[in-house]
Structure 1
Amino acid sequence: MNKLFKIIAILFGILFIISAALQYNDPDPMLWIIIWGLAGIITLAFAFGRLSFTIPLAGGVAALIGFFYSYPEKFEGFEIGAGDIKNIEEGREAFGLLIIAIVMLVLALRGWMARKSKV
C-alpha cells in the first residue's frame, strides 16, 4: 500500500474511533459504538497490513446495505430544528454508514488491485 493510502486509512481509522467515542449520548449508543469502532479497527488494521482486502470489502458491503436500510422515508437534512428529529437522526445515521461504506470499499479496491499486481 502506498504512503498516501496508508495515511488516508490511518486518518479515517482515527476519525472512526473518535466517532465511536462520541456515540455515548445517542439513543442507541452500543449499536453505533460497535459499528464505528469496528470500522476504525478494520481501517487501521488494513492500513498496517494486518488484513486482506476481503474484510474491508465485507464491511463496506454491510455498511452500504445498512445505509439503504436505515435511510429515512423523508430526508429532512442533518440540522436539528430543520424537521422531524427522528428523520434527522435516521439521516445522520444513514449517511454515517455511507461514509464507512465508501472508505471500506475504496480500501478494498486498493487492496485488491495491489494483490492483483503482485500476481
Structure 2
Amino acid sequence: MNILLKVLGITFGILFIFGAIVQYNDPDPFLWICIYCIASAVSFASAFNKVPYKLLLILGGAFLMGFIIAYPESFEGFEIGKGDIKNVEEAREAYGLLLMAIVMFLFGGLSFFRRK
C-alpha cells in the first residue's frame, strides 16, 4: 500500500502542477493557480505520509463544496465553441475541484487504513 500511495501522490502532484500551469490565461489565474498548487503540495506530502488523514478529508470536503458552488447554471460541456464560454469555464473549474476532492478523499482513506 505504501508504494501505491507514493505513486499516486507523486502522479497527482505532477498533474496538479500542470493544472496550475494552464491557468495562466484564466480570467482569475491567481486563485486557480493557488488552488492547484495546494492540491499538488498536499498530493506530494501524502506520498510521503506527511499529511494527517483528517486534513485530507477536510480538504476533500472543501473541494467538494467548491464543486457544488462552482457548478454552472447550465452544463454545456468543456469544449470552447460548443456553448456559452462562461458555462464552459465554470464546468471546467467545477470538475477540476471535483477531481481534487476525489483525490483528497482517496488519499485520506488510504492514509486512514494505512495507520490502522
On the 8 A contact 1:43/1:56 being kept in 2, the answer is no
* Alignment TM-score, normalising by the size of structure 1: 0.93
Gapped runs of 5+ residues in structure 2? Answer: none
* Structure-2 separation of matches of 1:54 and 1:24: 31
Percent identity (aligned): 53
Cα distance in 1 for partners of 2:58, 2:22 equals: 25
Offset from partner CA, 1:1-59 (integer Å, 9 cap, x none)? 52122101110011101211221110000000000000000110111121111221111
Q: Which one is further off, 101-110 or 16-25? A: 16-25
Mapping 1:56-71, distance limit 5 Å: 56-71=56-71
Aligned-residue RMSD, C-alpha: 0.9
1:92 equivalent in structure 2: 92
- Whichever residue aligns with residue 68 of structure 2, its letter is F
Per mean C-alpha deviation after superposition, the further-off stretch among 72-81 and 45-54 is: 45-54
1:44 alignment counterpart: 44
Deviation beyond 3 Å, 4+ runs, structure 1: none
Which region of structure 1 is more displaced relative to structure 2, 94-103 or 15-24? 15-24
1:17 and 2:17 are equivalent in the alignment: yes
Separation in structure 2 between the aligned mates of residue 106 and residue 23 of structure 1, nearest angstrom: 25
| Count of aligned pairs | 116
- For structure 1, list consecutive stretches of 5 or more residues without a partner in the other structure: none
